[in-house]
Structure 1
Amino acid sequence: MSLAKSQLAAVGWGFAIGSASLALLFAVQYGLGWLDQSPTPEAEPQADLGVYWQVLLMLGLALWIGWTEELIFRGFLQNQLQRDLPVWLATAVASGIFALLHGVWEGKSVLPQLPGLWLMGMVLVLARWVDSGNLGLAWGLHAGWVWVIASLDALSIHSNSKAPAWLTGLAGKPLAGILGLLFLLTTGLGLISWLL
């Protein structure tokens, strides 16, 4: 298999694993009654189709975001830091910068998400290691996660007050809750077991 085909396969596997596992987490929460769908005004079938187009467009956006962020943070920045720092420290620093820079477009609402974003960065570096230093698996995982979150927003599905916010995510942000952190830890452990 050529390098390009193997990278596309890694992106595909990462996307499938990332989106399916996160969708499963939210499906369980939905089944427990911890998520609601905001009521939408009565719409014609054409208007309903608009939501599905949004979800499809989110796929392209998620792939672009995943590619861009992986190229910058797990690619360029990680490689630059590893020149002067031990790998584990370079990984921690790159993940910290990744987390902090989310504040550029999210402002102060990023503060409760910082530990989750840092952990996400660490998990994505593990995905790069699993993929023999390539970014395909990390890109796919990242894109899958972004797509599921963006799709839930497009479908107006959000946390309700039936479960504590510290569990499902403060201010409706999954990475600011225990379930989001456990999800990332589980993904990381799965990647570590893949390495062994």
Structure 2
Amino acid sequence: MRKFIFIAFVFCVSATNAQEFNLTDTYDVANQRTVGQEEEDTWAVDVIVTNNPEKSIATLNIADFGLLDEIRISVLEEPALEGITEILKITLEYNTCCASTEEQYYLVTADYDVIALPGIKNEYGYDPISDIHYIFPNQPFGKEGTILRAVVQYTETHTIKDISVLRSIAWNDDDFGQEEALTAINY
């Protein structure tokens, strides 16, 4: 019986410490402008701190702006990474013949300094059977002191079936390389 109580306690602690990204109004997009030739349909927008519009967190270049369906800004608080107060995730959702998303992740310090991670793109021809995400230490399947980039595979009922780690980034190493955005395609 004690063994069962201990296992239940460990499970509850793990579940309460696990967090997900939540939509936020702390940040906003502003200063929409064209980039290059107007016929290219490429635009730039700034991600700003809502209560301090002069503080720009990032500039996003959005190709095919006319196909952009939505920009979502969400935050993962207290990600269990030393010196980082939150992780900012910006999702650009496109709807054309197939749905696709681009996700940009920014590690934010208390002074709103940011460290960008390489972007991730996911394309879906139908219900996703897998996609790519970053997993941080305080999330389910997270690893202490490490940022994981992983392929998450789903069952038909949209529960997690399997996780395959693509890259493990030790937090004390801020050299993320000059990687291109990673793309997962589901057709």
User: If the TM-score is normalised by the length of the shorter chain, which range does it land in?
Assistant: 0.3 to 0.5
Which protein has the larger Cα radius of gyration, Structure 1 or Structure 2? 2
Higher normalized strand content (fraction of residues): 2
TM-score normalised to the size of structure 1?
0.31
**Bigger relative contact order, structure 1 or 2, given CA contacts below 8 A and separation 6+?**
1
TM-score normalised to the size of structure 2?
0.32
Higher normalized helix content (fraction of residues): 1
